[in-house]
Amino acid sequence: LSTRDMRLLAVVIMAAGKGTRMNSDLPKVLHCLSGKPLIHHVVETAKRLGADRLIAVVGHRREDVQKALEGQGVEFVVQESQLGTGHAVQQAIPALRDFRGEVVVLSGDVPLLRASSLEQLVKYHRKTDAAATVLTAIAPDPFSYGRIVRDAEGKFAKIVEERDANERERSVREVNSGVYCFRAISLFGALQHLKNDNRKGEYYLTDVIGILRQSGEVVQAIDLAGFYEIRGINTAAELEEAESRWESESNSGNS
C-alpha cells in the first residue's frame, strides 16, 4: 500500500433530524427497511468501507438512536438544535480534532448507497489530491436537487440549489448526492467560516464547497452512483419505494 492508501478514514453520519414528513414521532433514521433501521444500513456500508472512526451526529430522541446502535462501534456527538447540515458536521470537530486523513459525510436516511460507490469516491478523491470530492448522480427528474455546474472543460465549477438556478442550470441532470469526501484539515478549516445568512438561518454543508474553492483548494465532483442509491427517505411512500428497490436489488444479487 502507498502512504496515500494507508491514510485514515473517518465517516460522519448525520442522524439528528426529526423527519416530520414521516408523520411519526419515531426518529426518521429508526424507520425500518428490510427489517433493519435505516441507520443500520448506513453503518454497515461505512464498515464495509473500512472506516477507522465512525461518528453519528444525533439529536432528536438521541437516546433511542444511541440504543439502536449499541455495540456497533459508533461514537456519538450531539446536535442540540438542528441548524443545518453544516452545523451537524461542525459538532464532530471536537471528536476529530487531531484526526488526519479523510472524512466521508453520509446521511442516516440514505440506506441504499453502495459501499463500492463510496470506495470509488475515496479512491478518486485521494488520487486527485482534492480538498473535497462531491459524489454525484444523474437524475431522471432533477427537480429539488442541487445541480452540478461544470466549466467548458467539464471540470466542477459549483453546486447551484434549485431556488437559485437559472433556466440553463435547471436543465442539468447531474445532481449533488449530499455525500462528500473531505480532507479532514480542509473541512475543519472551512467549517469555521460557515455563515447562516440564508432564508432558513441554517448552516449548509454545501457552502463548504464554495469556501474551499474560493480559497484556491481543489474540489472535484464525480458521477459514480445510481440515482436510486442517493435518495433520502423523507416520507412513508419513499420508504415503500426503497423497500421494493431493496428487494429487486437483493434478488438480482447486487445489494
Q: Is 97 a catalytic residue?
A: no
Of 126, 110, 134, which Cα lies nearest the Cα of 232?
A: 110
Q: What phi, psi does 120 have (nearest 5°)?
A: -65, -35
Q: Which of 4, 7, 21, 245 is catalytic?
A: 21
DSSP for the chain, written as a single string: --TTTTSEEEEEEEE----GGG-SSS-GGGSEETTEEHHHHHHHHHHHTT-SEEEEEE-TTHHHHHHHTTTS--EEEE-SS---HHHHHHTTTGGGTT--EEEEEEETT-TT--HHHHHHHHHHHHHTT-SEEEEEEE-SS-TTSPEEEE-TTS-EEEEE-GGG--HHHHT--EEEEEEEEEEHHHHHHHHTT----STT----THHHHHHHHHTT--EEEEE-S-HHHH----SHHHHHHHHHHHHHHHHTT--
CA distance 224 to 61: 34
Positive/negative CA dihedral, 140, 141, 144, 147: positive
Residues annotated as part of the active site: 21
